[in-house]
A and B are shown apart, each in its own frame.
Chain A
Amino acid sequence: EVQLLESGGDLVQPGGSLRLSCAASRFTFSNYAFNWVRQAPGKGLEWVSAIDNSGFNTFYADSVKGRFTISRDNSKSTLFLQMNSLRAEDTAVYYCAKVSLVTSNFDYWGPGTLVTVSS
């Protein structure tokens, strides 16, 4: 069974930085594209960023463009999200999601990691 596990969530002050990781196992990580999706407390889902299987192509929501960087290490089966210049509105649970080769949709998700931006 595919496993995804996010880590790195924490309490951080506004303007600070944080790096999230998503460790993948039980499948060939390098074959798949991935996305980050976040959910503010009590709110809906917000797409954040995407990366293709090679890592060469990356995409961002306007709300995080220029502040967040998505990357991956295929040798370690790990996805990353570097978050800089954090704002209170970035407070959310962050999920990594694997993209299905069959449906092009998010077929597996991690349990999420909580990022809280507050002074």
Chain B
Amino acid sequence: DIQMTQSPSTLSASVGDRVTITCRASQSISRWVAWYQQKPGKAPKLLIYQASRLESGVPSRFSGSGSGTEFTLTISSLQPDDFSTYYCQQYNSYSRAFGQGTKVEI
């Protein structure tokens, strides 16, 4: 099965900072990566799909890039509502493995 390794596990930042989260796949998955945001006690929310496509309604400060085995999620200017946990997920195969998550905290 394809494994997803996400880093860092925790990221401390301030409002206005540019933030980058990395996800590495154990084998090439083309561009079949999605990024989700999860707030405490809530279900995850889709932000990015196919590595770089923004889900409808998601602010443009979120962007994604990468292909093959390395992918990044970037928040260009961190806003108060963005302090959450972020997960990458591969969907190259039926077993849709998630990364371990990155908690973005103040």
Contact = CB atoms under 8 A, between A and B. Distances in A.
Contacts, number: 57
A35 B44 contact: no
Contacts of B89: 45, 47, 105
Interface in A76-119: 95, 97, 103-107, 109-112
A47 B97 contact: yes
* Interface SS majority for chain B: loop
A63 B49 CA distance: 26
Contact of B53 (A103, A106, A107, A110): A103
Interface of A: 35, 37, 44-47, 50, 59, 61-62, 95, 97, 103-107, 109-112
Interface of B: 1, 34, 36, 38, 42-46, 49-50, 53, 55, 87, 89, 91, 94-101
